Amino acid sequence: MKVIICGAGQVGYGIAEVLSMEGNDVSVIDTSASLISAITQTLDVRGYVGHGAHPDVLSKAGADDAEMIIAVTLYDEINMVACQVAHSLFNVPTKIARIRSQSYLQPHYSDLFSRDHIPIDVTISPEVEVGRTVLQRISFPGANDIVRFADGAVAMLAIECMEDCPVIATPLRQLSQLFPDLQATVTGIYRNGRLHISQSGDQLEVGDIAYVVCGKEHIRRTLGLFGHEEREAHRIVIAGGGNIGYYVANAIENSAVKTKVKIIEADRDRATRISDLLGSTIVLNGSALDHGILNQADIENADLMISLTNNDQTNILGAAMAKNLGCGSNMALINNPTYYEFTKVMGIDAHVNPRAVTISRVLQHVRKGRIRSVYSVQKGAAEMVEGEALDTSLLVGKPLRELDLPVGVRIGAIYRDKQVIKPDGNSIIKAKDRVVLFAAASAVRHVEQLFRVSIQYF
């Protein structure tokens, strides 16, 4: 596939890294010569210094025969114009744009991004995507990560195995025997810096991160089985009143949960504005690194501190300071992947990776076949994939034990007629079933084939 990426920042780099590793023909455009130099020196991509919305630059990047343009610059308007030019002048089939301003995404403007107006096939709002991720993590504090599939009926949980984890040193096949009514399947294990697809004979060790697929009604029980019964936070302090902080606070206010929220925002005008927009949330003007402000927020009695500013260092230090001052737990938004290795040392209980969230949304539309959803884990080492099985799919019609599944694939759940089915060797996938599976990066291409229409169908 020939793809043009406008924007060589962290998100653009991450998308280019994944697509180039898979053998796609990737061209990257950015106005920064240094960013283009860095990306072309480290990745197998072509780089072009220039404005991503300018026709001559797009032409040089190969827009005439490109199959997709992904516009992820820092500016919504550039992303929109780049897609418009790619459509009008070069007839690029698929156009994806990052749109950060919520004013463009209001429901009553829903026809703005259409072929008759601004022809964008997919809009991605990082703030909304990250905000939803934060809310999920608040609801289920024992999970390192949680992602929903199959209209929310299925969840993927990343769960750290602590020393008191009850299922340590137990073959995975025995878990099914001990808890036959539990809709949960361990699909992957991250251990000592390496991720592998789990087998029924594998045993979990202390320090492992288990990737578990389960039905939504079984999330809390699954976390409890792994020794995580953390209490949901009801007193929350948010550092940063930007788009994400406001989105989270507003969503909590609109929920039925009785949670007290306080926001610390450094910019006085912004603090005043969100204070007027929010109802019960208390907004404090000041720095999240100021002991006085943290004390004013009653941080020592807070259950959770969430650092959501646009500065990684502030997020890490603010979360660490809050924990040191007595806050029950913390969570930090971290953009720079080099910081992930130090989160535990710094006392960070959980972190949110906005780049991974955005890249996963893009991959959902890059993947071929009836792929409904994709989530990239461990810097692209594997993907959780939800696909729809077609009549001609090799998945359909045989018991799972008889299927010749690609190496590096484990099925976690089957969703049929709004019911979640825990797979076993006797399970038979039917046409139109939605299958949630865990796939190593090396197996993704094979997974795409499982959900594509066979040529024999015609």
453 and 373 fall within a common domain: yes
Question: Of 332, 349, 374, which residue sits at a domain end?
Answer: 332
141 and 107 fall within a common domain: no
Which residues pair with residue 306 across a beta bridge?
Answer: 238, 331
pLDDT of residue 456: 39
Task: Collapse the DSSP code of 439 into the 3-class scheme (helix H, G, I; strand E, B; otherwise coil) and give the result.
Answer: strand
246 and 208 fall within a common domain: no
pLDDT of residue 69: 97
In angstroms, the CA 254 to CA 72 distance is: 30
398 and 290 fall within a common domain: no
pLDDT of residue 226: 93
Q: Counting beta carbons within 10 angstroms of the beta carbon of residue 379, is it exposed (0 to 12), middle (13 to 18) or buried (19 or more)? A: middle
Residue 45 lies in a domain: yes
Residue 323 lies in a domain: yes
246 and 306 fall within a common domain: yes
* DSSP H stretches of helix in 179-218: none
Question: Of 225, 246, 265, which residue sits at a domain end?
Answer: 225
* DSSP H stretches of helix in 89-207: 126-139, 172-178
Task: Collapse the DSSP code of 294 into the 3-class scheme (helix H, G, I; strand E, B; otherwise coil) and give the result.
Answer: helix
Question: Of 225, 258, 283, which residue sits at a domain end?
Answer: 225
Q: Which residue has the tokens 């991250």?
A: 190
| Predicted confidence pLDDT, tens digits, the chain (458 residues) | 899 999 999 889 989 998 998 889 999 999 999 999 999 999 999 999 999 999 999 999 999 999 999 999 999 999 999 999 999 999 999 999 999 887 887 777 878 888 778 899 989 888 888 999 999 999 998 898 999 999 999 999 999 999 889 999 999 999 888 888 899 999 999 999 899 999 989 999 999 999 999 999 999 999 999 999 888 899 999 999 999 999 999 999 998 678 999 999 999 999 999 999 999 999 999 999 999 999 999 999 999 999 999 999 999 999 999 999 999 999 999 988 788 878 888 889 989 988 888 888 888 888 877 889 999 898 889 999 999 999 888 899 999 999 989 899 999 999 999 999 999 999 999 999 999 999 999 998 899 888 876 543 33
176 and 208 fall within a common domain: yes
pLDDT of residue 161: 93
Q: Counting beta carbons within 10 angstroms of the beta carbon of residue 395, is it exposed (0 to 12), middle (13 to 18) or buried (19 or more)? A: buried
171 and 188 fall within a common domain: yes
Residue 347 lies in a domain: no
CATH code: domain of residue 449 = 3.30.70.1450
Residue 367 lies in a domain: yes
Q: Are 397 and 446 in contact (CB under 8 A)?
A: no
Residue 186 lies in a domain: yes
Q: Structurally, how many domains does the chain consist of?
A: 4
- Domain of residue 422 covers 357-457
pLDDT of residue 400: 94
Q: Which pTM value belongs to this model?
A: 0.85
In angstroms, the CA 167 to CA 178 distance is: 11
Q: In what order do the strands lie in the sheet with 304-307?
A: 282-285, 260-265, 235-239, 304-307, 329-333, 350-352
13 and 119 fall within a common domain: yes
pLDDT of residue 284: 97
